[in-house]
Structure 1
Amino acid sequence: MSELFVSNKYTTDPRPSVSLFGYELIRDVLLTELLGKDAPEILYWAGKKLARRFPLYNMDEVIAFFHEADWGLLVVKEEKRKEVGLELSGEWITHRLEKDVHSTFQLEAGFLAQQLEMQKKVVAEAFEHPRKRSGKILFTIKWDIKDPINGEHK
């Protein structure tokens, strides 16, 4: 994976870690202020763009990416023919859900949708389902095997 990733502050990795406060300033304060009411939609498409920049070839790599990016612990909960259910948990997820009623995880949803789209070579869409009581986010990624992607994304 890229050296751009920041390691978890609890590892012995010598690279610097990101503080929760710094992450909140950028993600939940600055971006929300700059993007306004369109923040969820823009973050979804930004997640798709990030996925195209960092293509991953299977779900194990996606899970590793989430860990390296400090986005949380991603676990496959259910796999079906045309969809997959994923659960995202971790200290930052719980904190964001407890602190902010309007936290959005559309960046992660867009990233997941695009990764599955590239891996399965069909159009995919992700939906987030916050579970505030458990401090987790559930994602459902759906695709239609009859809707193949045509050519490269720009």
Structure 2
Amino acid sequence: MKETAKLSTENISSLVATGAGFDLLRYYTLPDFLGKDSPYLLYFMGKNIARETTATTFEDLYEFFQYMGWGALQLIKEKRKEMIFHLQGHIVEKRLNQKIYKVDFRLECGFLAETLQSITGDTYECIEEISSKEHIVVITATKE
């Protein structure tokens, strides 16, 4: 098996892709192949991507979200067993406003859960709540 480099903002910046192509794969093709298990598998795909990154700080995490075209991630509130993040920005607004397919943020949630484990050493489960009116996604990371 060929050895691959860890994903970092430096090496992913050389990738060329369009958001439309990515979204078609994510919201149309994958659910067609994966069926009702698509959201669960996307979550685990996000965790798998995180395991292959060099993100070890919150700054790395925020930068990686930007480079991946997932939007601007920001920690809003931190409690003893929970962290609340907002995911927002132009790309998130465009995804929320399109009328072609139902969007979710399971891939991002999986990535965030795994990266938080790398940063903090604690295990997290992440769920998203879409606020279409405010054009943001609220992601709640709960410590397990």
Specify the TM-score bucket, using the shorter chain as the normaliser: 0.7 to 0.9
RMSD of Structure 2 on Structure 1 (CA): 1.8
Q: Structure 2 unaligned runs (5+)?
A: 1-7
SS at match of 2:32: helix
TM-score (norm 1): 0.79
Report the Cα distance in structure 1 between the residues aligned to 2:104 and 2:72, rounded to whole angstroms: 17
Aligned partner of 1:148 in structure 2 is none
Question: Does the 8 A contact of 1:55 with 1:115 survive in 2?
Answer: no
Q: Structure 1 unaligned runs (5+)?
A: 7-14, 145-154
Aligned partner of 1:142 in structure 2 is 142
Report the Cα distance in structure 2 between the residues aligned to 1:95 and 1:53, rounded to whole angstroms: 28
Matched, 1:80 2:79: yes
Aligned partner of 1:116 in structure 2 is 116
Question: Does the 8 A contact of 2:50 with 2:115 survive in 1?
Answer: yes
Structure 1 residue 80: Cα displacement: 1.6
SS at match of 2:123: strand
Report the Cα distance in structure 1 between the residues aligned to 2:97 and 2:31, rounded to whole angstroms: 17
SS at match of 1:85: strand
> How many residue pairs are counted as aligned between the two chains?
136
Q: In the alignment, which of 12, 29, 38 is matched to residue 5 of structure 1?
A: 12
Report the Cα distance in structure 2 between the residues aligned to 1:126 and 1:104, rounded to whole angstroms: 13
Aligned partner of 1:132 in structure 2 is 132
Q: Percent identity?
A: 30
Matched, 1:30 2:26: no
Query: Which of the pair is proportionally richer in helix?
Result: 2
The one-letter amino acid paired with 2:97 is: E
Against the structure 1 CA distance between its residues 2 and 75, is the aligned structure 2 distance closer, same or farther, given a 3 Å change threshold?
A: closer
